[in-house]
Amino acid sequence: MDFSFVPGTFLFEAWQARTALLTGLGVTMLTSVVSIVFATLCGVTMGVALAYGWWWLRLLGRLYVDLMRGIPLLVLILFTYYGLALFGINISAFWAGVIALSAFATAHVAENFRGAVESVPAGQMEAAKAIGLTFPKRLYYAILPQALRRMLPPWVNTSLEIVKGSTLLSVIGVVELLLASQQVMARNYMIVDFYLLAGLFYLIINFAIAQLGGLLERRFSYLRY
């Protein structure tokens, strides 16, 4: 890899393509962040339903979780973009990708959160009930703080998978980091160089998410069971 800044070298080509690469990086980060937020909110809600909901609600939640975890992410992305159009639902490629990533990750977050909730000793809920707390307050004050800490490691893994899964959005025309890099490579044929650069960007994003997860774990480390 030539690091001299003259025409035809990697640094020169990277500088020339900086706008396209940074735009692709921005799309990757935006789709990942929006999908992670949606999946976390929906997954926690569904996890509570799986643990404490009525039987029919638990059944519907279980069907959704098993269905989403059994479908390859690529198939889900293609169906969201092309399949929904068959029913007259036309959405942009960006939002189709966000919906597919969120739907896929929601199932994983829900199952992880259900396991975390059910791992909290039953005495915690009974003690909160004994002092007169309503169910929402028992859940908020007694169960959620303990369950959240237990679900953080798998939540980080799911978030990392969302970032890596965002590369599949290129198949429906979303110009995220990988597709932007491939478009640059098609012009300069520096395939290895720009794949390494894209890999470095993904590594930085995932490292930041892992550090955030570690920070949150330390934030909840005062809880002892």
Q: Please give the angle made by the CA atoms of 30, 35 and 39, to the nearest 5 degrees.
A: 155
Tens digits of per-residue pLDDT, 126-147? 787 788 788 788 887 778 888 8
pLDDT digits (tens, 9 = 90+) for 6-44: 777 888 888 888 899 999 999 999 999 999 999 999 999
Q: Does residue 15 sit within a domain?
A: no
Residue 7 lies in a domain: no
Q: List Cα–Cα distances, 152 to 13, 170, 174, 177, 212, in angstroms.
A: 40, 29, 30, 27, 10
**CATH number for 73:** 1.10.3720.10
Residue 85 in domain: yes
Yes or no: say if 164 and 176 are a contact pair by the CB < 8 Å rule: no
Q: What percent of the chain has pLDDT over 90?
A: 58
Length of the chain: 225
The Cα 185–Cα 192 span in angstroms is 9
Task: Report yes or no: 113 and 43 within 8 Å, Cβ to Cβ.
Answer: yes
pLDDT score of 72: 93
Quote the mean pLDDT of the chain: 88
Summarised one tens digit per residue, pLDDT across range 187-199 is 888 899 999 999 9
Residue bearing tokens 């590594």: 203
Which of 121, 137, 109, 111 shows the shortest CA–CA distance to 51?
111
Position 4 scores a pLDDT of 56
Split into its structural domains, the chain has a count of 1
Please say whether the beta carbons of 146 and 120 come within 8 A. yes
Closest CA to 179 of 15, 35, 17, 33: 17
3 domain residue, yes or no: no
- Whether residue 8 lies inside any domain: the answer is no
CA Rg, the chain, in Å? Answer: 21
Structure tokens at 6: 């003259």
- Evaluate if pTM is beyond 0.85: yes
Residue 128's domain comprises: 20-219
- 120 inside domain: yes
Residue located via tokens 């396209």: 20
Q: Which of 77, 72, 94 is nearest to 26 (CA)?
A: 94
Residues 6+ apart with CB under 8 A from 133: 141, 142
Report yes or no on 6 lying in a domain: no
Q: 209 in a domain, yes or no?
A: yes
Cα distance between residue 113 and residue 185, in whole Å: 42
